Amino acid sequence: MITLRGLTKRYGARTAVDDLTLEVRPGAVTGFLGPNGAGKSTTMRMILGLDRPDAGTALVGGRPYQKIENPLRTVGALLDARAVHPGRSARAHLLALARSNGIGRARVGEVLEIVGMDRAAGRRAGALSLGMSQRLGIAAALLGDPAVLMFDEPVNGLDPDGVRWIRRLMRGLADEGRTVFVSSHLMSEMQLTADHLVVIGRGKLIVDAPLGEVVAASAVRIRSPHAGDLAVRLRAAGVEVSRTGESQLVATGASTERIGDLAHEAGIRLHELSAQEASLEQAFHELTADSTEYGSRV
For residues 63 and 214, what is the distance between their CA atoms, to the nearest angstrom? 30
Give which of 178, 180, 207, 217 is closest to 33, Cα–Cα: 207
pLDDT in tens, 30-53: 999 999 889 999 999 999 999 999
The residues, any chain, with a CB within 8 Å of residue 35's CB and separated by 6 or more, are 201, 288, 291, 292, 293, 294, 295
pTM of the entire structure?
A: 0.81
pLDDT at residue 296, as a whole number: 52
pLDDT bracket for residue 18 (50, 70, 90): very high
pLDDT at residue 295, as a whole number: 55
pLDDT at residue 214, as a whole number: 85
Cβ-contact 274, 220 below 8 angstroms: yes
| pLDDT higher than 80, residue 271 | yes
pLDDT at residue 294, as a whole number: 56
pLDDT at residue 280, as a whole number: 86
pLDDT at residue 218, as a whole number: 63
Domains of the chain: which residue ranges?
Answer: 2-209, 217-277
pLDDT in tens, 164-175: 999 999 999 999
| pLDDT higher than 60, residue 106 | yes
Instruction: For the chain, give the percent of residues with pLDDT over 70.
Output: 96
| pLDDT higher than 60, residue 276 | yes
CATH of region 2-209, choose from 3.40.50.300, 3.10.20.90, 2.50.20.10, 3.40.50.620: 3.40.50.300
| pLDDT higher than 90, residue 293 | no
What dotted CATH number matches 217-277? 3.30.70
